[in-house]
Every structure is written in C-alpha cells, then in structure tokens.
Amino acid sequence: MTRKIILAVLTAAGMLYFTQYTIPAQAAGKQNPPPNFPAMDPITKEDRILVFAPHPDDETLGAGGMIQEAVRAGAEARVLYLTNGEHNQLAFIVYEKWLVIKQKALIEMGKMRQREAAAAMKLLGLPEENLIFMGYPDFGSLMIFLRYWGETRPFKNMLTRISNVPYDNALSPNAPYKGEAILWDVESVLRKFRPTRIFVTNPVDTNRDHRAAYLFLQVALWNLKGQIPDPQVYPYVIHCYGWPKPRNYRPYLYLDAPKLLEHSQIRWVWRELTTEEVSNKHRAILLYRSQCSDAASYLVSFARKNELFGTYPVIDLTDETKEDAFSAAAAFREKTVVYGKTDGKLLINVFIKKEPGPNSRFYVNLAGYNPDIEFAQMPKIKINVDGDNVSVLNRGKYIKVKGLETTQKRHYVSLKVPIEILRDPQYVLASVNTHMDNFASDLNAWRVIKLK
C-alpha cells in the first residue's frame, strides 16, 4: 500500500510539472503581438559584454538569451555578481526543508548559488572563469549605498552577523561591507574588461539589491569617464508589481513592458530569441534549483520569445536661461513627480491621485555626484515628510538644514532643497517614495538629474 501511495504522489507531481512547464509550450496558436519598440542592435564579435547581476539567476532571467547571442557571435562576455543571494530564506526553507539561520549554513547557501550559476552559465555557453563573484551582502547593498561610507563602521548582515566578504573565491575576499569597497570592485572590473555593452538591473526594480546594482554602476561609470570608452547600458526589469503575466513557461508568448510602466518615460528596446535560445534559457533557469523550489512558475515566466531592456532619460535641469527649469519624471502608479531647479534649490513636486490619509508620509533620497570630490565623502540625504514633521538625515544621521521648504496640500507635496547641502553636484541620484496609511504603496525609480 505504501508503495502505491508513493507511486501515486510521484505520478501527480510529474503531471503537475508537465502541465505547468510542457503543455503551455504546445499552445503555439495563442501568440500575442511582438512589442512595439525598436529592436536592439545585434551583438558582434567586436562587442565586449558585461552582465551585472545582483544575485545568481538575475543574469539568466534578464539576459539569458542575449548571453547566448554573445557566445554565438564570438564576443567576449563576463557576468559580475554583486551578491551570492544567501538571504533568500523562503526559498532555502522550501529547498532544504528546514530553517537556515546559522552563519555557516547561510554561507554554504551562498556557495550553492554560485555552483548553480556556474551550471546555468555553462549551459548557455559561458565557462566558469568568465563569472566574477563579489560576495557582498544579499539584501544589504542598497543600505550600504545610502549609509556605509568613509569613517562609518561596515554594514553588518542581520542574518550572518558578519561585516566582510566571506567567500574565498570572491573578487576581493574579506573586503568590508562598505560603499567604497563595492565601488572599487565594480570599477576594477570595468577598467580591466572595458565593456562595450553593459546589462544591469533597472532602477525601477522593486528589489533593493537590483536598484543598488544600478546605482553603483552609474557612479563607477562617472568615476571612469574618459578612462574607458563609454559603454551602452541596457537595464532589465526583474521585479515589478503584477509582471510578467501570465505566469509559467509560455515560450510562444512575447514579453511586453509592465503596464505599471506605460507612462514611465522609459525608452525600451528588445531582441527576439530563437526557439533554441528560449529552450536553453528555460533549462538554465531550472538549474537554479534552490530558487525554483518555491518560485518556479514565476522564474520560468521569463523564458519567452524576447527580452526587454529599458533606459530612463536623464532629467536635464542645466538650462540656466529659465527662471524655473522643470522636468517631469512622469506618472508612476498613482503619482507624478516633477523635478525642477531655481534660486539655488532643487524642487521636487509630487502629485498624488489618491488623497493621502492621516498616516501617509513621504521620503526622498538624494545622492549628489561631484567629480572633484570622492563619492564616499558626498552627502547621501534622506528627507522624511510625515505630516507637519520634516526631518533630514545624512548617511543615517540627523542634520539641520537651513532653507529647506515644504508645502503640503490634499493631492500635492512640494520640497525645495538647498543644493548646497549636496556639495555642488554635477549630477543627483534621486528617488521619491510614498507610504499611504503605513503601507509602502510606491517604491519609485531612482532617476539621474543633471544640474550642470
């Protein structure tokens, strides 16, 4: 009887897998139209391709087809991993069938994800020596970008309780969890490899490490301006509310831009995958067994007939001939952000479709870039607006700011921020976030603002 039960369970599991990952592939008649965006220029043998992935599996999800094209074209290609992804507790619980909390076990999980990455990339044509693991803390890189620079103590991972890179095969073993260490590693790879095209996670992505990867790359490229050829940068989206749909493996469908980003100003391009590329990408995704243990139907949704890459335009506020220079950051969910500059102040106007409740609050992150000042020494400002209470922090510490002005109405919040507190920046990295009734209703994209 026991053997019959086991056989029945295995048969049911097999049917479920077949239904989710095989039957949809046969429904080729239910295709959707291709995206109405320009096609990405083909990769050539002269290209040097760098994929910057926050975690092992992001490179396959966002650019697995493109990696295959690069290999087929004979282009040099590398994958740079910001973290080893040791913080995905839910996936590990499902995969290991027990709670992974001990430091050694967590690090072993990070090593396992390295092995999964090596297997996936081998399937797509990249040898292990073309993979570069930085080993910085999963779920901690954005916090490092916002706070942990200069004389501050390194960031401490809340689970592993360590403050330095624990992997012997990392690019910089034992490097501290600090912004300058991450920035140095990214710059060293860019200097040595000199990529012509870089594929990185999009600054609108809701995952913190995904946004951090974009931010560190942007600062590194500014620092290396004139030292290496300017590469083309192609941001790819992984996490966005309600996307992609429908879920599961549907290789006959095109991947279109998220509806949430229809009015986002993003300039999209796409490339079509061959049937073989889609199949290989699907197989590579499934090699991330630890991640597919709890999210296979979501992950295999990225194995479709195309891949999408989208770039936000720079918000240019350099026109000094205008008394008020404004540029809209466009609608995002139920909010529109307009940036401006006048009289030595950065203007940030937020228009909200839904009327804020009594517990609503806003916060703005601003990081200035001045080529004459080390980025580690530049302010990383956070402005909290909670009703009539306004507070300002620089790298997590409260500061007093003269000349900061706020205006709040029913569907409108306006900030006037003295640019001098950002130390005369050439560029500003900015993000506006809203919390409606204690719910994080919007994690807005980071935008690049050019001031001079």
The dihedral over CA atoms of 166, 167, 172, 174, expressed in degrees to the nearest 10, equals: 20
Residue 424: both structure tokens together: 């005369």
> And the tokens for 140?
């901690």
Last residue of a domain, one of 289, 311, 333: 311
Domain count along the chain: 2
Domain that holds residue 370: 315-450
What CATH number is associated with residue 120?
Answer: 3.40.50.10320
Asked if the structure places residue 283 within a domain, the reply is yes
Q: What digits encode the pLDDT tens for the residues 124-169?
A: 999 999 999 999 999 999 999 999 999 999 999 887 889 999 999 9
Same domain, 281 and 346: no
pTM over 0.85: yes
Last residue of a domain, one of 277, 311, 345: 311
The HSE-up count of residue 116 (CA atoms within 13 Å, CB side) is: 26
Average pLDDT over residues 187-193: 98
Question: What is the chain's mean pLDDT, rounded?
Answer: 87
pLDDT of residue 437: 56
Distances in Å between the Cα of 57 and the Cα atoms of 116, 128, 178, 415 are: 8, 14, 24, 39
Both 40 and 82 in a single domain?
yes
What percentage of the chain has pLDDT greater than the value 90? 69
Separation in Å, CA 358 to CA 67, 383, 410, 436: 49, 19, 11, 9
Q: Are 280 and 68 in contact (CB under 8 A)?
A: yes
pLDDT at 88 over 90: no
Q: What is the DSSP letter of 39?
A: B
In a domain, 250, yes or no: yes
